[in-house]
C-alpha cells in the first residue's frame, strides 16, 4: 500500500524509544534549576508523540481490507521462551492505537506540567516517566498474554517511585497501598492467564502447541471452554482489571494515590493507568470470553451503577479538592463498565470513547487542581473562596473542564457518555427477575441506565458546589498575592480544552479509529443471546407436561426464533 | 578420549591405589580433588602467624575455586572426537543421554548432568562469597586464613552431597558440610552472638542429623540391608512382594523428611535459622542461605526422586506427599509474615529464605520432572539474587559497621550504584518482572498449577504470599531511594578504595548480570535444568533395566 510508510518494526521502535530516552538521561548535566533536563524531557516526549502519531495518521485514512493489511504488517511475533510458548508479540488495532496515542499525548502534557511542579531529582523523574510510558504502551500493544502481564507488572515500580519520591506528606502510605492493591489484582490476572493457557494447551492439540499465549490463539480457543471454567477465568480477569479500573470495592487505593501524587503523575494515573484496566477488561473479558460476559452482564451492570452512583455520592462530601476529583474520576470509569455491560455496538464504542474522554478531562481537572495547589499549598476546599477574580484564567479553565466533566452538550464527555447511555438503553439482552439471595429482583438494562443517570445529576451537584465554594463568594485575605496561570500551564490547559471541544463537536474524528474493531466484538453477542434463548426454551420444553409451562415455552421458542431471524437479518445487512 | 585420560591419570592407576580407582573416576571428581589440594596447601599456609601469610590464603582459595570451576566445565564439555559424545549431553545420533562413566567409586557418587549443574552453581556461589567476604573477615578476625579453608571444606561437602548416590556417602558429605558450617558460624570468636549461633547450630544440627539417621536406619532395614540408592529401590521391591508395613514406611518417611526439613529450614523446623543467620558473620550467612541450601536441596531432590518417588515407595507414600504442601504453606506464610517486622537486613533475609524454601516445597508436592526442574532453576536464580543482596549488605557493613534496615535510608544519594544493585536484587527476590526471580516463580507456580486443579489453591496462596513479601522488600527500596539520608549514610564517604572494592564490585556485577540475563532470557538454563532432572530419572530406569 502506498499509504503505508511505516517501517516493519515500527511498534518495537515505539516501545524502545522511551527506554532510549531514559538511558540517555544519566549523561546529561543539569544546569541551574535543571532547566535543560526539563527541556530534554519535554522535547523527548514530543518526539515520541510525533512518532506515535504516524500510525494514527496512516490508520485514519484507511478502511476495510487496507486497514487490516496494515495491522497485519505491523504485527511482530518472535519466539522468546520456546519451551513455554512465550512470544515477543506486538501488534495494533484501532483500540490499541487509540489508547497508545492517548498515552503519548498525555505524556507530553504531563512533561510540560512537570516544569512547574517537579523541582527535585529531575533526571530520575524523567527516567521513571519514560519507563512508565514504555510499560503502558507495552500493555496496549502486546499480542501475547504473558508479555501483556510483564508490561502490566513493569508499570508498578516506576509508578511507585513517582508517588513515593515526588509525592505529598502521606506518600509512603499511599504509594505502598497502590503497589499492594495492584499486585493483589495481578495475582488474579496471572491466575486468569494461566487458566487460559492450561485450557488451550490441553484441548488445542498439536496445532497450538508452543503458542498458547498468543492473542489470536486465545481468541480462537477461549470459546470452547466449559461454561464454569469460562466464568471462573472471566471473574479472575474481572477482579484483576477491576482493581486497576478501579471498581468498587477495590477503588480505595486511587483517592489516596491521587492525593499524594504530584500533579503530572496524577494526570498520567487518571489519564492512562486506569485505562490499562479498562482496556484489559475489554480485551480479555468481553472480546475473548463473551459467553461468560453475557451470563454475568446483569451483575456487571449492577456494579457499574454502584460504581457511578456510590462514588459520586462520596465525591459530594469530600473536603479535599483533589480527592473530590479523584472520586469523580472513579465515578466516570463506571460508565466504561456500563457500556461494556450493554454488549452492543453503541455500548462498546461508547465505553472506548469514555476511556479516551475520561483520559483528557480528568487529566485536565487534575492539572487545574495542581495549578491551585502549587500556589496555595492547600487542597482543602474550605480554605478557598472567591478566587474567581484573583485568578481568572485558572477559573476559566477549571469552570470549562468541570462543565466538560458534568456532561455539558457539545463537549467530549457528553458525546461519549451519551453513546454509553444510548447503547445501554437499547440493550435488550436481559430483562427478567434475577435471583438475589432468595429474593427476586426486577433488573433491566434500562433500569441500570436510569440509575446511572443519577450519577450525572450528582456529578453536576458536586462539581458546581465545588466551583461555588472555591471561586465565588468572599476571598480570604491571604490569597491577595496569588498569581494567575503561567504560560506552560495555560499551554497544557488550552490544548486539552481544544481537544475537549473539538472531539465534542465532531466525535466521529475519534470514533472512526476504533469503530470497526469494537463493533466486530459486539456482533458476537446477538448470536450468543439467540442461542441461549433457544437452549432455555428447549430446556423448558423437556421439563414439564404441564400445559401452562408448555404455553409459556412455546411462546418463548417463538421469541427465540424471532430473535434468530433478526440476527440473520442483521448479519445480512452487515455483509451487504 | 580414554588415551587422554590414561596419559593424565595413568600414574595413579598404576600405583598401589590403582586397585581402588580407575582413571575415569579421578577425572570425574577433578574439581573435588582440586579443592582438596587447595585445602591441604592452605592449611599449611595458615600455620603461619603472620597476617600477610593469612591473607595469601584468600588468593589461593579464589584461585582454587576458579580452577575447580574451570575444570568442571571443561571436563564435562569435552566431546570425544571419535564418537561425538560428550560426558554429559545427549548423543546426537541416538538422542540418549550419554552414560559414559556416570557412576564414580562403585556408584557411591554420580557425575550426571544434575550433579554437574548443581556443582557448577555451588562453586560459583562459593566464588562469589569469597569475593565479597575478604574485607569483612580481614577486618574482624586475626586469623582470616582458616575461614577460607573452612569455606572450601563446606563447599566440598556440598558438592559431594549433590552427587551422593549412597546413604553412607550422603551422610559423610552432609557432615562435612555441617561441621565446617558450625565452625564458620562461630568464626568471630570475640562476639557473643556469633558464638551463640555456632553452639545453637551445633545442637540443633546434631539433633536433626540424629533424626535423619534414624530414618535412614529404618530404610536400611526395610530394604534388606542396602545403602546404594538403586539397591534400596530393588530391595524395597523385593520386600514389597511379601508386603511392606505402611506404618514403618511412613515413619521412615517422616523421620527423613523431618531431618531434611531442618536442613532446608522449612517451617516448623525453622527456629534455628533467624538466630544463626543473625549471629554468624554476614558472608557465612550468605553461604548458608545459598550454597549450603542448594547442596541440601540437591541431596533431597536426588533422594526423593531416585528412591522415594519410585515404586513401591511412591505408591505407599503418595498420600503423605500432602505434607510437602502443608510445610510449604506454613513456611511461606510464616516466613513472609515474620519478615515484615524485622529491623536488621540479615534477619529479614533469613525469614525471606524461609519463605522461599516454602515456595520451593510446592515443587516437591507435585514431584514431577517439570516441577523438580523448576526447583533447580529457582535455585540457580537464587544464587545470583540472594548472594547479590548479601554482597550489598556486606559492603554496607564494611563501610558503616551497621546492618539495621533503618541505616540504609537515603543510600542512593551517597552510593547510587550500591542502592541500585540492592533495589534490583530485592525486586528479583520479590518476583517483579524483567528479573530472574520473576521467571523462577512463574515456572515453579506454572508447573504446580499444571499438575491438576487440586493444586491451584496452593498457587493462589503462594501468589498472595508474594504480594505480602513485596511489602518488606519494597520497604528497604523505599528507604534507600526515597527517604532522607540517615546519619550513617551521611557519614559515609563518597570515595571508593579501588583495590578493596574491586572483588566486591566484581561479585556484584556477576550477580547483577546473572539476575538480569536470567530475567530476559531464561530458556537455556531452563532447558538445562529440565534435561538434568529428566536424566536423573532416565539413567535410573536404564540402570535398573540393565541390572535386571
Residue A208 lies in a domain: no
CA trace torsion B158, B162, B168, B172 (10° rounding): -10
Query: CB-based contact (8 Å) between B271 and chain A?
Result: no
Closest CA to B359 of B380, B328, B383, B335: B328
A107 in a structural domain: no
**pLDDT: which is higher, A329 or B246:** A329
Query: Based on the number of CB atoms within 10 Å of its own CB, is B250 exposed (0-12), middle (13-18) or buried (19 or more)?
Result: middle
Test mutation, B406, B427, B482, chain A, max A CBs within 10 A: B482
pLDDT tens sequence across A193-247:
988 888 888 887 777 777 888 898 888 888 788 888 889 999 999 999 999 988 9
Q: CB–CB of A165 and B481 under 8 A?
A: yes
From B485's Cα to the closest Cα of chain A, the distance in A is: 13
For residue B471, which residues of chain A lie inside 8 Å, CB to CB? 176, 180
- Compute the mean pLDDT over every residue in chain A, rounded to the nearest whole number: 87
Q: What is the percent of chain A with per-residue pLDDT over 90, rounded to a whole number?
A: 51
Give chain B's domain count: 1
Banded model confidence at residue B238, pLDDT cuts 50, 70, 90: confident
Comparing C-alpha atoms, which of B512, B440, B434 is closest to residue A135? Answer: B434
Give pLDDT tens digits for A431-489: 666 666 777 777 888 888 999 999 999 999 999 999 999 999 888 888 888 888 888 99
Q: Do B464 and A184 touch (CB under 8 A)?
A: yes
Does the residue A488 lie in any domain? yes
Distance CA B198, CA B204 (A): 10
Q: Return d(Cα A167, Cα A175) in angstroms, integer.
A: 9
Q: What letter would DSSP give residue B435?
A: S
3-state SS class at A90: strand
Confidence of residue B16 (pLDDT cuts 50, 70, 90): low
Q: Measuring CA to CA, how many Å separate A198 from each of A208, A210, A238, B116, B446? A: 12, 12, 19, 33, 9
Task: Tally the residues of chain A.
Answer: 576
Task: Pick from A134, A142, A157, A233 the residue to mutate for testing the B interface (most B CBs within 10 Å).
Answer: A157
Q: How many CA atoms lie within 13 A of B313 on its CB side?
A: 26
Q: Is B95 left (phi over 0), alpha (psi -120 to 50) or beta?
A: left
Q: Is B474 within 8 Å of chain A by CB? A: yes
Number of domains comprising chain A: 2
- Tally of CB atoms within 10 A around A494: 14
Provide the pairing of β-strand B85-86 with B79-80.
antiparallel
Cα gap A401→B426, rounded to integer Å: 43
Q: Say whether both A434 and A552 belong to one domain.
A: no
B449 interfaces chain A, CB cutoff of 8 Å: yes
All residues of chain A having their beta carbon less than 8 Å from the beta carbon of residue B523 are 80-83
Span A493-519, average pLDDT: 91
A344 and A400 both lie in a single domain:
yes
Q: What is the pLDDT of residues B438-489, one digit of tens each?
A: 989 988 998 898 887 788 889 889 988 988 998 899 899 988 988 888 888 8
Quickly state the pLDDT bin for B4 (edges 50, 70, 90): low
Whether A536 and A511 map to the same domain: the answer is no
Q: Give the confidence band of A168 by pLDDT, cuts at 50, 70, 90.
A: confident
Of B432, B460, B530, which is closest to A153 when you measure between CB atoms? B432
Summarised one tens digit per residue, pLDDT across range B331-354 is: 999 999 999 999 999 999 999 999
CB contact under 8 A, B523 and A176: no
Residue B187 CA from chain centroid, whole number = 21
Tell how many helices (H) and how many strands (E) occur in chain A: 24, 4
- DSSP letter string over A111-169? HHHHHHH--SSHHHHHHHHHHHHHHHHHHHHB-BHHHHHHHHHHTHHHHHHHHHHHS-T
Q: What is the mean pLDDT of residues B408-413?
A: 88
- Residue B546 pLDDT grade (very low, low, confident, very high; cuts 50, 70, 90): very low
Cα distance between residue A399 and residue A405, in whole Å: 10
In angstroms, the separation between the Cα of residue B61 and the nearest Cα of chain A is 38
Give burial (CB, 10 Å; 0-12/13-18/19+) of A158.
Answer: buried
- Long-range contacts (CB closer than 8 Å, 24 or more residues apart) made by B31-36: B31/B68, B31/B69, B31/B71, B31/B72, B31/B119, B31/B123, B31/B159, B32/B68, B32/B156, B32/B159, B32/B160, B34/B64, B34/B67, B34/B68, B34/B71, B35/B64, B35/B65, B35/B68, B35/B152, B35/B155, B35/B156, B35/B159, B36/B156
Partner-chain residue, chosen from A150, A180, A191, that has the shortest CB–CB distance to B470: A180
Which of the pair, A142 or A433, is modelled with greater confidence? A142
Residue that wins the pLDDT comparison between B331 and A26 = B331
ipTM value for the complex: 0.76
A232 has a chain B CB within 8 A of its CB: no
Q: Distance between CA A380 and CA B317 in Å, rounded? A: 66
For residue range A330-389, list pLDDT tens digits in order. Answer: 999 999 999 999 999 999 999 999 999 999 999 999 999 999 998 888 889 999 988 888
Would the CB atoms of A83 and B474 count as touching at under 8 Å?
A: no
3-state secondary structure of A318: coil
CA–CA separation, B368 vs B175, rounded Å?
29
Which of B434, B431, B436 is closest to A147 using CA atoms?
B434
Please identify which residue in the block is written with the cell numbers 573477615.
Answer: B137
Give the nearest chain B residue to A162 (CA atoms): B482
Is the distance from CB of A424 to CB of A445 less than 8 angstroms? yes
The residues that bridge with A431 in the sheet, in sequence order, are A444
Q: Kindly state the cell numbers that stand for B523.
A: 530458556
| Res A550 pLDDT > 70 | no
Domain that holds residue A544: 528-575
pLDDT on residue B351: 93
Torsional sign, CA B481, B482, B488, B490:
positive
- The grid coordinates listed for A4 are 503505508
pLDDT band of residue B313 (cuts 50, 70, 90) is confident
Contacts of B521 in chain A (CB under 8 A): 80
pLDDT band of B542, cuts 50, 70, 90: low
Of chain B, the percentage scoring pLDDT greater than 90 comes to 43
Question: Between A22 and A67, whose confidence is greater?
Answer: A22
**pLDDT computed for residue B492 by the predictor:** 81
Same domain, A427 and A468: yes
CA angle A99, A105, A106 (to 5 degrees): 90
**A24/chain B closest Cα distance in angstroms:** 17
Which of A162, A170, A186, A194 to substitute to test the interface with B, most B CBs within 10 Å?
A194
Judged against a pLDDT cut of 60, whether residue B125 lies above it is answered with yes
pLDDT of residue A543: 66
Whether residue A194 contacts residue A187, with contact meaning beta carbons closer than 8 Å, is answered with no
Is A180 near chain B, with CB under 8 Å?
yes
The residue count of chain B comes to 548
Span of A205-214, B217-226, B375-384, B416-425 with lowest mean pLDDT:
A205-214
Diameter of chain B by CA atoms?
A: 74
**A435 and A551 in one domain?**
no
pLDDT score recorded for residue A388: 87
Of A82, A191, A198, the CB nearest to B460: A191
Residue in B427, B445, B450 nearest the CB of A157: B427
Tell whether the torsion through CA atoms of A20, A24, A26 and A32 is positive or negative: negative
Residues in chain A closer than 8 A to B438 (CB atoms):
153
**Residue that the C-alpha cell 476495510 belongs to:** A64
pLDDT of B456? 82
Over range A140-168, report the average pLDDT: 91
- Shortest distance, CA A547 to any CA of chain B (angstroms): 44
Q: State whether residue A459 is helix, strand or coil.
A: helix
Find the domain containing B525 and state its range.
2-547
Q: Which residues of chain B make contact with A160, given a CB cutoff of 8 A?
A: 474
Under the banding of pLDDT at 50, 70 and 90, the label for residue B23 is low
Is A450 in the same domain as A308?
A: yes
Is the distance from CB of A269 to CB of A261 less than 8 angstroms? yes
Mean pLDDT across the stretch B388-396? Answer: 93
Measured distance CA(A388)–CA(A320) in Å, rounded: 19
Same domain as A457, residue A332? yes
Whole-angstrom distance, CA of residue A465 vs CA of residue A463: 5
B340 touches chain A (CB under 8 A): no
- Residue A232, classified by CB atoms within 10 Å of its CB into exposed (0-12), middle (13-18) or buried (19+), is middle
User: Of the residues A472, A487, A515, which one is the last residue of a structural domain?
Assistant: A515
Give the model's pLDDT for residue A573. 46
Nearest chain A residue to B523, by CA = A81
Residues of A with CB below 8 A from B446's CB? Answer: 84, 194, 197
Look at residue A547 in the predicted model and tell me its pLDDT.
47
Q: Is the pLDDT of residue B157 over 80?
A: yes
- Cα distance from B64 to chain A (closest Cα, Å)? 36
- Report residue A404's pLDDT band, with 50, 70 and 90 as the boundaries: very high
> Cβ contact (<8 Å) for B433 and A153?
yes
Q: What is the pLDDT of residue A144?
A: 93
Confidence of residue A560 (pLDDT cuts 50, 70, 90): very low
pLDDT at A252 over 50: yes
Q: A187 and B526 in contact by Cβ < 8 A?
A: no
d(CA B105, CA B20): 8
- Written as nine digits, the cell of B337 is 509474615
Q: Do A82 and B523 touch (CB under 8 A)?
A: yes
Q: For the ranges A262-266, A425-429, B90-94, which has the lowest average pLDDT?
A: B90-94
What residues in A contact B481, CB-CB < 8 Å? 161, 164-165
Find chain B residues with C-beta within 8 A of A82's C-beta: 523
Answer whether residue A342 is part of any domain: yes
Using only C-alpha atoms, chain A has a radius of gyration, in whole angstroms, of 24
Per the domain annotation, does A537 fall within a domain?
yes
| pLDDT of B84 strictly over 90 | no
Same-domain status, A367 and A444: yes
Q: B418 with B307: CB under 8 angstroms?
A: no
Residue B267 is predicted with a pLDDT of 81
**CB proximity list for A351: less than 8 A, separation 6 or greater:** A278, A282, A335, A336, A337, A338, A339, A340, A420
In chain B, residues with a C-beta closer than 8 Å to the C-beta of A165 are 481-482
Q: Look at residue A468 and tell me if it is in a domain.
A: yes
Q: Is the pLDDT at B499 greater than 70, yes or no?
A: no
What is the pLDDT at residue B10? Answer: 67
Residue of B nearest to A180 (CA): B467
- Percent of chain A at pLDDT above 70? 92
Contact A187/B443, CB-based, under 8 Å? no
Name residue A436's beta-bridge partners: A439
Q: Cβ distance B194 to B187 under 8 Å?
A: yes
Q: Which of B435, B441, B463 to mutate: most A Cβ within 10 Å?
A: B463
Same domain membership, residue A507 and residue A534: no
Query: Are both A476 and A567 inside the same structural domain?
Result: no
Question: DSSP labels for B364-397?
Answer: HHH-SHHHHHHHHHHHHHHHHHHHHHHHHHHHHH
Q: Enumerate the residues of chain B whose CB falls inside 8 A of the CB of residue A197.
A: 446
Of B171, B214, B197, the closest CA to residue B275 belongs to: B197
Same domain, residue pair A318 and A339: yes
Least CB-CB distance to B482: which of A150, A164, A198? A164
Amino acid at each position: 500500500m502506498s499509504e503505508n510508510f511505516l517501517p516493519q518494526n515500527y511498534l518495537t521502535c515505539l516501545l524502545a524509544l522511551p527506554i532510549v530516552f531514559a538511558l540517555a538521561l544519566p549523561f546529561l548535566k543539569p544546569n541551574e534549576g535543571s532547566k535543560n533536563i526539563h527541556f530534554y524531557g519535554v522535547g523527548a516526549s514530543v518526539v515520541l508523540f510525533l512518532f506515535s502519531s504516524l500510525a494514527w495518521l496512516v490508520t485514519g485514512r484507511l478502511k476495510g481490507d487496507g486497514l487490516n493489511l496494515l495491522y497485519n504488517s505491523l504485527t511482530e511475533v518472535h519466539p522468546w521462551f520456546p519451551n513455554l510458548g512465550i512470544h515477543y508479540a506486538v501488534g495494533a488495532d484501532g483500540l490499541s492505537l487509540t489508547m497508545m496515542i492517548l498515552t503519548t499525548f498525555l505524556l507530553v502534557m504531563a512533561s510540560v506540567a512537570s516544569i512547574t511542579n517537579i523541582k527535585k531529582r529531575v533526571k530520575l523523574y524523567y527516567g521513571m516517566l519514560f519507563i512508565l510510558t514504555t510499560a503502558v504502551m507495552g500493555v496496549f500493544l502486546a499480542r501475547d498474554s504473558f508479555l501483556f502481564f510483564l508490561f502490566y507488572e513493569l508499570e508498578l515500580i516506576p509508578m511507585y517511585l513517582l508517588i513515593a519520591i515526588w509525592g505529598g506528606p502521606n506518600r509512603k502510605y499511599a504509594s505502598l497501598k497502590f503497589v499492594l492493591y495492584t499486585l493483589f489484582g495481578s495475582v488474579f490476572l496471572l491466575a486468569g492467564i494461566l487458566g487460559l493457557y492450561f485450557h488451550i494447551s490441553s484441548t488445542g492439540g498439536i496445532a497450538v502447541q508452543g503458542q498458547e499465549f498468543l492473542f489470536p490463539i486465545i481468541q480462537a480457543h477461549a470459546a470452547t471452554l466449559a461454561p464454569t471454567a469460562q466464568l471462573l477465568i472471566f471473574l479472575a480477569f474481572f477482579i484483576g482489571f477491576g482493581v486497576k479500573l478501579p471498581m468498587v470495592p477495590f477503588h480505595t487505593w486511587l483517592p489516596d494515590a491521587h492525593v499524594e501524587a504530584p500533579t503530572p503523575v496524577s494526570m498520567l494515573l487518571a489519564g492512562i493507568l486506569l485505562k490499562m484496566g479498562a482496556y484489559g477488561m475489554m480485551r480479555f473479558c468481553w472480546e475473548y470470553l463473551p459467553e461468560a460476559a453475557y451470563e454475568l452482564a446483569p451483575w456487571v451492570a449492577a456494579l457499574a451503577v454502584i460504581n457511578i452512583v456510590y462514588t459520586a455520592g462520596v465525591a459530594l462530601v469530600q473536603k479535599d479538592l483533589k480527592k473530590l476529583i479523584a472520586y469523580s474520576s472513579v465515578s466516570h470509569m463506571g460508565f466504561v463498565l456500563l457500556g461494556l455491560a450493554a454488549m452492543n455496538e453503541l455500548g462498546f464504542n461508547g465505553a472506548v470513547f469514555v476511556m479516551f474522554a475520561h483520559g483528557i478531562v480528568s487529566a485536565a481537572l487534575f492539572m487545574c487542581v495542581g495549578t491551585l495547589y502549587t500556589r496555595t499549598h492547600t487542597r482543602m476546599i474550605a480554605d478557598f473562596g472567591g478566587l474567581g477574580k484573583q485568578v481568572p484564567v485558572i477559573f476559566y479553565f477549571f469552570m470549562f473542564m468541570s462543565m466538560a466533566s458534568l456532561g455539558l452538550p457539545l463537549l467530549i464527555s457528553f458525546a461519549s457518555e451519551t453513546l454509553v447511555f444510548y447503547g445501554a438503553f437499547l440493550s435488550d439482552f436481559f430483562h427478567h427477575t434475577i435471583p438475589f439471595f432468595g429474593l427476586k429482583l426486577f433488573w433491566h438494562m434500562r433500569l441500570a441506565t436510569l440509575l446511572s443517570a443519577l450519577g450525572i445529576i450528582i456529578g453536576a451537584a458536586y462539581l458546581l458546589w465545588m466551583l461555588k465554594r472555591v471561586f465565588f463568594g468572599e476571598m480570604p485575605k491571604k490569597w491577595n498575592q496569588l498569581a494567575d496561570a503561567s504560560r506552560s500551564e495555560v499551554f497544557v490547559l488550552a490544548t486539552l480544552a481544544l481537544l475537549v471541544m473539538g472531539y465534542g463537536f465532531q466525535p466521529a474524528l475519534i470514533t472512526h479509529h476504533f469503530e470497526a474493531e469494537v463493533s466486530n466484538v459486539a456482533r458476537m453477542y446477538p448470536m450468543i443471546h439467540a442461542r441461549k434463548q433457544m437452549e432455555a426454551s428447549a430446556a423448558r420444553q423437556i421439563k414439564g407436561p404441564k400445559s401452562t409451562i408448555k404455553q409459556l415455552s412455546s411462546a418463548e421458542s417463538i421469541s427465540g426464533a424471532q430473535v434468530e431471524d433478526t440476527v440473520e437479518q442483521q448479519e445480512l445487512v452487515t455483509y451487504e | 578420549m580414554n588415551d587422554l585420560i590414561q596419559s593424565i591419570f595413568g600414574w595413579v592407576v598404576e600405583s598401589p591405589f590403582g586397585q581402588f580407582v580407575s582413571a575415569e573416576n579421578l577425572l570425574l571428581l577433578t574439581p573435588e580433588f582440586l579443592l582438596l589440594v587447595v585445602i591441604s596447601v592452605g592449611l599449611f599456609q595458615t600455620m603461619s602467624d603472620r597476617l600477610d601469610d593469612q591473607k595469601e590464603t584468600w588468593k589461593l582459595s579464589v584461585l582454587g575455586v576458579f580452577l575447580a570451576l574451570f575444570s568442571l566445565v571443561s571436563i564435562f564439555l569435552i566431546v570425544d572426537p571419535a564418537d561425538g559424545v560428550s560426558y554429559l549431553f545427549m548423543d546426537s545420533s541416538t538422542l540418549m543421554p550419554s552414560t559414559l562413566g556416570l557412576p564414580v567409586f562403585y556408584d557411591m557418587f554420580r557425575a550426571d548432568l544434575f550433579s554437574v549443574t548443581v556443582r557448577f552453581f555451588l562453586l560459583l556461589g562459593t566464588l562469589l562469597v569469597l569475593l565479597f567476604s575478604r574485607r569483612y573477615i580481614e577486618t574482624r578476625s586475626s586469623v582470616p586464613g582458616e575461614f577460607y579453608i573452612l569455606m572450601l571444606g563446606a563447599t566440598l561437602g556440598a558438592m559431594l552431597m549433590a552427587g551422593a548416590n549412597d546413604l553412607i556417602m550422603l551422610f559423610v558429605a552432609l557432615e562435612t558440610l555441617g561441621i565446617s558450617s558450625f565452625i564458620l558460624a562461630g568464626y568471630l570468636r570475640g562476639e557473643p552472638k556469633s558464638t551463640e549461633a555456632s553452639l545453637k547450630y551445633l545442637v540443633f544440627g546434631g539433633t536433626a542429623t540424629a533424626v535423619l539417621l534414624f530414618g535412614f536406619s529404618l530404610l536400611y532395614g526395610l530394604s534388606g540391608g542396602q545403602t546404594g540408592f538403586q539397591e534400596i529401590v530393588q530391595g524395597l521391591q523385593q520386600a514389597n512382594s511379601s508386603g511392606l508395613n505402611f506404618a514403618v514406611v511412613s515413619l521412615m518417611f517422616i523421620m527423613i523428611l523431618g531431618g531434611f526439613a531442618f536442613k532446608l529450614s522449612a517451617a516448623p523446623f525453622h527456629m534455628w535459622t533467624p538466630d544463626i543467620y543473625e549471629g554468624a558473620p554476614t558472608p557465612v550467612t550468605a553461604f548458608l542461605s545459598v550454597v549450603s541450601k542448594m547442596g541440601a536441596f540437591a541431596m533431597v531432590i536426588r533422594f526423593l526422586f531416585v528412591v522415594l518417588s519410585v515404586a513401591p515407595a511412591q505408591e505407599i507414600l503418595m498420600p503423605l506427599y500432602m505434607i510437602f504442601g502443608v510445610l510449604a504453606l506454613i513456611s511461606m506464610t510464616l516466613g513472609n509474615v515474620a519478615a515484615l517486622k524485622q529491623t536488621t537486613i540479615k534477619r529479614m533475609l533469613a525469614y525471606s529464605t524461609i519463605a522461599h524454601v516454602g515456595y520451593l516445597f510446592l515443587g516437591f508436592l507435585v514431584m514431577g520432572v517439570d516441577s523438580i526442574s523448576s526447583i533447580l532453576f529457582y535455585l540457580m536464580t537464587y544464587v545470583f539474587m540472594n548472594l547479590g543482596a548479601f554482597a550489598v549488605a556486606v559492603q554496607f557493613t564494611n563501610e558503616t559497621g551497621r546492618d539495621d534496615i533503618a541505616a540504609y535510608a537515603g543510600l542512593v544519594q551517597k552510593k547510587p550504584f550500591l542502592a541500585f544493585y540492592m533495589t534490583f536484587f530485592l525486586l528479583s527476590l520479590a518476583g517483579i518482572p524483567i528479573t530472574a526471580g520473576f521467571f523462577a516463580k512463574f515456572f515453579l507456580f506454572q508447573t504446580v498449577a499444571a499438575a491438576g486443579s487440586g493444586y491451584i489453591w496452593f498457587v493462589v496462596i503462594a501468589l498472595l504470599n508474594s504480594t505480602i513479601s513485596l511489602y518488606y522488600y519494597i520497604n528497604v527500596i523505599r528507604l534507600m531511594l526515597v527517604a532522607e539520608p540517615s546519619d550513617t549514610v551521611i557519614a559515609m564517604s563518597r570515595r571508593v578504595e579501588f583495590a578493596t572494592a574491586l572483588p566486591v564490585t566484581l561479585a556484584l556485577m556477576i550477580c547483577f548480570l546473572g539476575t538480569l540475563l536470567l530475567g530476559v532470557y531464561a530458556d537455556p538454563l531452563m532447558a538445562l535444568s529440565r534435561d538434568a532432572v529428566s536424566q536423573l530419572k532416565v539413567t535410573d530406569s536404564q540402570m535398573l533395566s540393565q541390572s535386571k
